Homo-oligomer: A and B are copies of this chain.
Amino acid sequence: MTVNFAILGAGRIGQVHARAVTATPGARLVAISDPMAEAAGKVAEAYGCDIRSIDEIAASDDVQAVAICTPTNTHADLIEQFARAGKAVFCEKPIDLNLNRVKTCLDTVAAEKATLMVGFNRRFDPDFMALKAAIDQGRIGAVEMVTVSSRDPGAPPADYIKVSGGIFRDMTIHDFDVARWLLGEEIETVQAAASVLTDPEIGTLGDYDSVNVILTTASGKHCTITNSRRATYGYDQRIEVLGSKGAVSAENHREANIEIADAEGFHRPPLLNFFMSRYTQAYANEIAAFVAAVAQGAATPTTGQDGLMALALAEAALKSVAEGRAVKLAEVLDGA
């Protein structure tokens, strides 16, 4: 069975997914939708698909699945619309910046028995998958401590930061999901510290640029997350897991695998500088996984619940910073 796709949103990430759909055996790109006619036109031309409105897509018999690549504040409504329309839905994180809205959205998805996959690309990165496989194969025994280092080359523009929900909901959210994925046990407590160190303007906007988080599960496993909005040496994405029998780590990706030696020492190129080049394969893999799940009527590897939990962890981290204390995840989930 071929899964016929429509993509909502022809921006940067919509283009990435258009390419991924086209390159995935068993998937076909049928339509693109975007309020900007020119953007939609480019995708339509590049991949030979129709341009349709969102409502037309919802009503299209020849579309089984959609990928929502529109701005965050439209995600929840679109998920509900397409869940009701009987389409399988792939949505970029987050579902919404408001935890209650995420909950009502997921209630609708559940009521419609719809398929929803939330895009957490880290889980589909080949190196991180190899790291997870090593854990699952028992190579390091029982997981005890996860360390996630995630640093952006530079901060996004102020306009983006304003609508981003803040660093915990925008950037750390990926690492919260990685923590849940690798700890293999739900997180109970969140301790967080947050500062403005790279650019005072970020503070003016009410956000942080440098954060550290300790997550603790019921059995006492830990995950530490370190984030910065600035890393001059490139897009820094490392994971390390300590277990009872050993440890496993995933290394960064460089622009080229060469080394120059001279009188000053040994020099290697900076890291890949952009999340799209760093996670090219991850984006392709997550679409392929969604297609496989839809084609087989199987559960998707990441779910709306994963989106909810990562957002709840972000809320708890914010609360921990604000109140200077360890926050139970239950406080946030029940309060929402």
A230-273 vs B, Cβ < 8 Å mask (1 yes, 0 no): 11110000000010111111111111111111111111111000
A191 within 8 A of B: yes
Contact B244–A261 (Cβ < 8 Å): no
A226, A255, A266 — which one has the most chain B CB atoms within 10 A of its CB? A266
With A258-B251, A259-B249, A261-B247 as known contacts, state yes or no: A195 contacts B214, CB within 8 Å. Answer: no
| Assembly CA distance A264 to B214 (angstroms) | 30
Q: A251 to chain B: which residues have CB within 8 Å?
A: 257-259
Q: A50 to chain B: which residues have CB within 8 Å?
A: none
Q: What is the minimal beta-carbon distance from A106 to any residue of chain B, in angstroms?
A: 30
| Assembly CA distance A265 to B259 (angstroms) | 10
With A231-B247, A247-B231 as known contacts, state yes or no: A266 contacts B261, CB within 8 Å. Answer: no
Interface residues of A (CB under 8 A from B): 126-127, 130-131, 134, 139-140, 144-145, 147, 149, 151, 189, 191, 193, 195-198, 210, 212, 214, 216, 219-222, 224, 226, 228, 230-233, 242, 244-270, 324-326
Closest Cβ neighbor of A217 among chain B residues: B195
Q: What is the minimal beta-carbon distance from A328 to any residue of chain B, in angstroms?
A: 9
Q: Identify 12 residue pairs between A and B in the complex whose beta-carbon atoms are under 8 Å apart, listed by A's number.
A: A134-B258, A144-B198, A151-B242, A198-B244, A212-B222, A230-B244, A245-B262, A245-B263, A248-B261, A252-B257, A265-B270, A267-B268
Cβ 8 A contact of A258, one of B230, B246, B250, B254: B250
With A145-B226, A193-B222, A224-B224 as known contacts, state yes or no: A267 contacts B269, CB within 8 Å. Answer: no
Contact A214–B216 (Cβ < 8 Å): no
Q: How many copies does the complex hold?
A: 4
| Assembly CA distance A255 to B221 (angstroms) | 30
Q: What is the minimal beta-carbon distance from A42 to any residue of chain B, in angstroms?
A: 13
Q: A244 to chain B: which residues have CB within 8 Å?
A: 197-198, 230, 232
Contact A256–B195 (Cβ < 8 Å): no
Contact B233–A246 (Cβ < 8 Å): yes
| Assembly CA distance A197 to B243 (angstroms) | 10
Contact A247–B224 (Cβ < 8 Å): no
Cβ 8 A contact of A263, one of B145, B212, B246: B246
Contact A144–B267 (Cβ < 8 Å): no
Q: What is the minimal beta-carbon distance from A203 to any residue of chain B, in angstroms?
A: 9
With A214-B191, A325-B326 as known contacts, state yes or no: A242 contacts B231, CB within 8 Å. Answer: yes
| Assembly CA distance A325 to B197 (angstroms) | 23
Contact A267–B266 (Cβ < 8 Å): yes
With A324-B325, A326-B325 as known contacts, state yes or no: A263 contacts B258, CB within 8 Å. Answer: no
Q: A140 to chain B: which residues have CB within 8 Å?
A: 260-262
Cβ 8 A contact of A246, one of B131, B252, B255, B261: B261
Given contacts A140-B262, A193-B216, 11 further A-B contacts (CB under 8 A): A130-B256, A134-B258, A195-B220, A195-B221, A196-B220, A197-B220, A233-B246, A233-B265, A233-B266, A246-B261, A250-B256
